[in-house]
Amino acid sequence: MTSKNIISVQNLTKTYGKKVKTDVLKKVNLSIKEGTFNWIIGSSGSGKTTLLNLISGLDEATSGQIYIDNVLITNMNEKDKATFRANHLGFIFQFHYLLPEFTALENVLMPLRIKNQKITKEIKKQAIELLSTVGLSHVYDHYPKELSGGEQQRTAIARAIIGNPKLVIADEPTGNLDSINANQVYDLIRKLHKDFKMTFIIVTHDTIKPIKGDRLITLKDGNIIKDEVY
Ligand SMILES: Nc1ncnc2c1ncn2[C@@H]1O[C@H](COP(=O)(O)OP(=O)(O)OP(=O)(O)O)[C@@H](O)[C@H]1O
Ligand SMILES: [Mg+2]
User: Domain extents for the chain?
Assistant: 5-229
Long-range (24+ apart) CB contacts under 8 A made by 216-221 are 216/38, 216/39, 216/41, 217/30, 217/38, 217/39, 217/40, 217/41, 218/40, 218/41, 218/42, 219/40, 219/41, 219/42, 219/46, 219/47, 219/48, 219/51, 220/42, 220/43, 220/46, 221/26, 221/46, 221/47
Radius of gyration of the chain (CA): 18
The finding on whether 204 has its CB within 6 A of some atom of ligand 1 is no
Residue 146 in contact with residue 130, Cβ under 8 Å? no
CATH number for the 5-229 domain, one of 3.40.50.300, 3.50.50.60, 3.30.420.40, 3.90.45.10? 3.40.50.300
Of the residues 13, 16, 18, which should be mutated to test ligand 1's pocket, given the most ligand atoms within 8 Å of the CB?
Answer: 16
Q: How do the pLDDT tens digits run along the chain, 230 residues long?
A: 557 999 999 999 999 988 888 999 999 999 999 999 999 999 999 999 999 999 999 899 999 999 999 999 999 999 999 899 988 999 999 888 999 999 999 999 999 998 888 999 999 999 999 999 999 999 999 999 999 999 999 999 999 999 999 999 999 999 888 888 889 889 999 999 999 999 999 999 888 889 999 999 999 999 999 999 99
Q: Which residue has the least CA distance to atom 17 on ligand 1?
A: 49
Bridge partners of residue 72, in order along the sequence: 67
Q: In degrees rounded to 5, what are phi and psi of residue 100? A: -65, -25
CA contacts within 13 A on the Cβ side of 96: 24
SS3 category, 34:
coil
The finding on whether 20 has its CB within 6 A of some atom of ligand 1 is no
Q: Which residue has the least CA distance to atom 26 on ligand 1?
A: 44
Q: Which residue has the least CA distance to atom 28 on ligand 1?
A: 45
